[in-house]
């Protein structure tokens, strides 16, 4: 059962990252809290690299109940947690911390669930028995592979610039479904129903060198990143005739909803929040 809400003093939550000033999480959690009339304060806390454990302790000592953790602290949060969910263990990263009544810190990772909810519930895509391509093999991709594989795709191909990194991931996740790894060149002649860009290429205004014939008819091109404009990957997909294209804003809201559930035991409605944020961007 969630703790009863104290109406006089808001329960304190925050997101920690570097940089974190432009995080949409405070706004998202404000909308969620409004749905339940919860009295919550959710702030963004900028933390210098190296200072994460002290910052967490300070926040907890000042009455904080839980934290979201973003780049570059997801592995620090993983190490700091006393108890981990199975999905956080598998992801090797934590984006949600909960300070438990017994003094222990529970660590979870809601990124993969957020992606899968956005794909299946918001975008109406079936992953079961479908060929799926994931681009990239860094921390962001590792965080979502478990939940993606739990949807039982026909095959999940991980393509990365550095193939060795994709191979490492395939080893970790081999028991969870059919995985193949390759470089971008090896994708020629292959077609996928869902292509998820989990590389950091968009950050540099780049698109991985992909063959244009990658998509089946009706395929979805999904970028885990989001911004005020379509990412280079989304523009590339549009140029090659893909109709279903999405950024990762829905994933962001869905992972936040999953964190909200961990802290408060209730699931917020995500669609109205995604709509409001879309209008704002």
**Contacts to ligand ATR by CB under 6 A:** 136-141, 160-162, 165, 199-201, 204, 206, 208
Residue 218: CB minimum distance to ligand ATR, A: 26
What is the C-alpha separation between 125 and 42, in angstroms, rounded? 32
Q: Determine whether 74 is an active site residue.
A: yes
Closest CB to ligand ATR among residues 156, 273: 156
Distance (Å) of CA 279 to CA 21, 35, 119, 274, 275: 20, 19, 20, 9, 6
Per DSSP, the three-state class of 178 is: coil
Residue 87: CB minimum distance to ligand ATR, A: 17
Closest CB to ligand ATR among residues 64, 112: 112
Do 131 and 155 form a contact (C-beta atoms < 8 A)? Answer: yes
Pairing relationship of beta strands 244-246 and 179-182 according to DSSP bridges = unpaired
What is the C-alpha separation between 165 and 184, in angstroms, rounded? 13
Catalytic residue among 24, 37, 65, 74: 74
Closest CB to ligand ATR among residues 161, 244: 161
Do 246 and 223 form a contact (C-beta atoms < 8 A)? Answer: yes
Residue 170: CB minimum distance to ligand ATR, A: 13
Residue 169: CB minimum distance to ligand ATR, A: 9
**CA-CA-CA-CA dihedral for 137, 140, 142, 146, to nearest 10:** -130
Closest CB to ligand ATR among residues 141, 256: 141
By beta carbon distance, the residue nearest ligand ATR is: 138
- Active-site positions read 74
């Amino acid at each position: 059962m969630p703790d009863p809400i104290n109406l006089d003093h808001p329960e304190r939550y925050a997101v920690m990252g570097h940089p974190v000033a432009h995080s949409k999480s405070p706004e998202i959690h404000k909308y969620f809290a409004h749905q339940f009339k919860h009295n919550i304060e959710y702030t963004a806390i900028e933390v210098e690299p190296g200072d994460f454990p002290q910052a967490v302790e300070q926040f907890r000592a000042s009455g904080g109940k839980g934290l979201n953790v973003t780049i570059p602290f997801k592995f620090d949060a993983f190490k700091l947690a006393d108890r981990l969910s199975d999905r956080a263990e598998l992801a090797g990263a934590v984006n949600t911390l909960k300070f438990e009544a017994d003094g222990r810190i529970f660590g979870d990772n809601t990124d993969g669930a957020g992606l899968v909810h956005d794909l299946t519930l918001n975008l109406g895509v079936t992953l079961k028995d479908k060929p799926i391509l994931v681009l990239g093999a860094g921390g962001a991709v590792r965080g979502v592979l478990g939940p993606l594989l739990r949807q039982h795709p026909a095959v999940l191909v991980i393509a990365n610039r550095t193939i060795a990194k994709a191979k490492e991931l395939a080893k970790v996740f081999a028991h969870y479904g059919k995985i193949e790894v390759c470089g971008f060149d090896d994708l020629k002649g292959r077609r996928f129903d869902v292509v998820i860009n989990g590389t950091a290429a968009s950050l540099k205004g780049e698109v991985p060198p992909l063959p244009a014939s990658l998509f089946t008819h009706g395929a979805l091109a999904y970028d885990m990143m989001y911004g005020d404009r379509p990412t280079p990957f989304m523009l590339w997909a549009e140029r090659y005739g893909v109709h279903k294209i999405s950024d990762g804003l829905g994933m962001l809201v869905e992972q936040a909803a999953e964190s909200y559930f961990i802290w408060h035991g209730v699931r917020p409605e995500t669609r109205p929040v995604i709509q409001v944020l879309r209008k704002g961007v």
